[in-house]
A and B are shown apart, each in its own frame.
Chain A
Amino acid sequence: MKRPSGISGWLKLVLPWLLLLVLLLLPAAGLSFNLMRLLFLTAVWTTTSLGWNLLGGMTGQVSFGFAVFFGLGAYTTALLMHAGHSPYFGFAGGAAIAMLASFFIGLPTFRLRGPYFVIATIGVTEAVRVIMNNLDITGGASGYRITEDKPFNPLEHYYTAIVAVALAVLVSTIIANSKFGLALRAIKQDQDAAADLGVNPYTTKLWVHAIAAGLTGIAGGIYARRAAFFYPGDVFAFSTGIFILLMPVIGGIGTVWGPVLGGIVFVIVEEQISVNFPNFHLLIYGALLIIIILLEPDGLLGLLRRLFRLLPRQQAKTGLAGDPG
Chain B
Amino acid sequence: MEAAEYLDLLLKALLLAGVYAAMAVGMTVVYGVMKIVNLAHAGFLMLGAYFALEMFQRFHIDPVLGAVLALPAFFLFGMLVHWLLVRWLPKSDTPTLASLLLMFGFWLVLQNIGYAAWGNEDQSILTPLTLSAVHIGDTISIPKVNLVVFAAAVFCMVVLQIVFHRSWFGRSMRALIQNPYAAQIVGVDDQRTSRLTFGLGTAFAGFAGALLGMLYSFSPDFGRPFLLRSFVIIVLGGLESVSGVALGALVLAILETFSTVIPLPWYWHGWKTFYLPPSYQPVVPFALLVVALVIMPKGLAGLFQRKWKAA
Binding site for B on A (CB under 8 A): 56, 60, 62, 64, 108-109, 111-116, 118-120, 122-124, 126-127, 130-131, 133-134, 238, 242, 245, 249, 253, 279-283, 285-290, 292-294, 297, 320-325
B97 touches A289 (CB 8 A): no
DSSP class of A's interface residues: helix, strand, loop or mixed? helix
Shortest CB distance B234–A (Å): 9
Binding site for A on B (CB under 8 A): 31, 37, 85, 88, 90, 92-98, 100-102, 104-113, 115-116, 224-225, 227-228, 231-232, 235, 239, 277, 279-280, 282-283, 285-287, 289-290, 293-294, 297
A322 touches B97 (CB 8 A): yes
Across the interface, name the chain B residue whose C-beta is closest to A141.
Answer: B279
A321 touches B95 (CB 8 A): no
B105 touches A114 (CB 8 A): no
B289 touches A120 (CB 8 A): yes
Residues of B within 8 A of A115 (CB): 31, 37, 94-95, 239
Residues of B within 8 A of A321 (CB): 90, 92, 96, 98
* CB-based closest 8 A-B pairs: A289-B105, A286-B108, A325-B94, A283-B112, A286-B109, A282-B112, A127-B286, A123-B286
5 contacts between A and B (CB under 8 A): A120-B289, A279-B115, A290-B109, A294-B88, A325-B94
Residues of B within 8 A of A324 (CB): 94-97
A114 touches B104 (CB 8 A): no
A294 touches B239 (CB 8 A): no
A122 touches B231 (CB 8 A): yes
Across the interface, name the chain B residue whose C-beta is closest to A249.
Answer: B101
Contact A283:B90 (CB < 8 A) given known A127-B286, A238-B224, A249-B101? no
Contact A127:B31 (CB < 8 A) given known A286-B109, A287-B105, A321-B90? no
A126 touches B108 (CB 8 A): no
B225, B227, B290: which contacts A120 (Cβ < 8 A)? B290
Residues of B within 8 A of A114 (CB): 94-95, 239
Across the interface, name the chain B residue whose C-beta is closest to A284.
Answer: B112
B239 touches A282 (CB 8 A): no
B102, B109, B224, B231: which contacts A119 (Cβ < 8 A)? B231
Residues of A within 8 A of B110 (CB): 286
A109 touches B228 (CB 8 A): no
Across the interface, name the chain A residue whose C-beta is closest to B239.
Answer: A114
DSSP class of B's interface residues: helix, strand, loop or mixed? helix
Residues of B within 8 A of A288 (CB): 105
Complex CA gap A279/B113 in Å reads 10
B282 touches A294 (CB 8 A): no
A134 touches B109 (CB 8 A): no
Contact A130:B282 (CB < 8 A) given known A119-B37, A120-B290, A289-B104? yes
Shortest CB distance A74–B (Å): 20
A131 touches B235 (CB 8 A): no
Complex CA gap A279/B118 in Å reads 12
Residues of B within 8 A of A238 (CB): 224
A293 touches B105 (CB 8 A): yes
B101 touches A242 (CB 8 A): no
Complex CA gap A290/B81 in Å reads 12
B93, B97, B293: which contacts A112 (Cβ < 8 A)? B293
Complex CA gap A134/B97 in Å reads 34
Residue of B96, B232, B285 contacting most chain A CB atoms (<10 Å): B96
